[in-house]
Amino acid sequence: MPAITDQAPPAVAKDMAALGAYLDQAIPRKKAGDNLLIATWNLRAFASLTREWTATAKDSPKRDLRALLAIGEIVRRFDVIAIQEVKGDLRALRDLLRWLGEDWAFLMTDITLGGAGNDERMAFLFDTTRLKPSGLACELVVPPEWLGEIGPDALRRQFARTPYAVSFKAADTTFILVTLHVTFGDPATERVPELKGIARWMREWANQANAWSQNLIALGDFNIDRQGDPLWQAFVSTGLAAPEALNKAPRTVFSDPGKPETNKFYDQIAWFQTAAGVPKLAMTFRSAGYVDFLPYVYTGMGLSKQAISYRLSDHFPLWAEFALA
């Protein structure tokens, strides 16, 4: 049985070389003491793994070493990445960390029990040569007094998947990341109370920070359908804003520029800003973007986007770069 650390077959190595060349152009390089690269990625049902380079039609799960190698090539380009949909089975995560090497570490929650929680964890993977945890790790809990204020018949329970906050330090810069995965309610209006609760909780926390110097950033899968819709309004209701560079970025492999209805705003990286649009951060935002891995994986195999989504992911990673100096 092959392992992720083995030499990849020629076809896989060719794909990885092309993916690597693309990533070199698409993502800023890590520069010591100069920049910080933060990312978020909803990795579809990131759980078990078929330890073969290319899973066959009979194999289950469909995620294989070929997909995991591509995931690793993307993850290692960042200093820290929030991953949603890490499941109870950690086989793929363990293999990924083995490939990334001893300089990489992770922090994560336990699985969320109950049907709505979908057996999911929240996780941060980070490059220990570039940053380290600075002491804070907590989960978002909404005070009972807020439940009636958020909206009629709103949050009568805690979040199905509790948002997870961790503080990190890179050089002399401290920042707090809050990762979340909002429940995909049907209809979409079922997501509004949860988004309002998250926005208010973060606003209250930010108000307690000393001159915003803690660099509070929210990232994850907010399950927002369209910019300007009620979900978006709930998201921005307390001053959260995403960089303009991400507003046109596709979120999923199923996005089609010719079909606006497919262009969702599920995933976000956001922080608070003033009414004039000035970020309330102690560090300077530089750039942002997404990673379109589709042209560089499983080439020549004729796999559909749907098939690739089960092997690698249905969501694209989003990233943001900040200046440390």
* Residue 267: inside a domain: yes
44 contacts 313 by C-beta, under 8 angstroms: yes
* Residue 161: inside a domain: yes
* Residue 5: inside a domain: no
- Residue 117's pLDDT is 41
* Residue 3: inside a domain: no
Global pTM reads 0.89
Residues contacting residue 278 through CB under 8 Å, at least 6 positions apart: none
Q: Which domain holds residue 71?
A: 10-323
* Residue 2: inside a domain: no
* Residue 275: inside a domain: yes
What's the pLDDT tens digit per position in 176-226?
Answer: 999 988 765 555 566 667 667 777 777 777 766 554 456 889 898 876 656
Q: How many domains does the chain have?
A: 1
- Residue 121's pLDDT is 86
Instruction: Using alpha carbons, list the distances in angstroms from residue 236 to 144, 222, 231.
Output: 22, 12, 9
* Residue 235: inside a domain: yes
- Residue 99's pLDDT is 98
Tell me phi and psi for residue 199, to 5 degrees.
-60, -45
Tell me phi and psi for residue 31, to 5 degrees.
-125, 120
* Residue 317: inside a domain: yes
Q: Using 50 as the pLDDT threshold, list the residues of the chain that sit under it.
A: 113-117, 150, 152-158, 211-212
* Residue 317's CATH number: 3.60.10.10
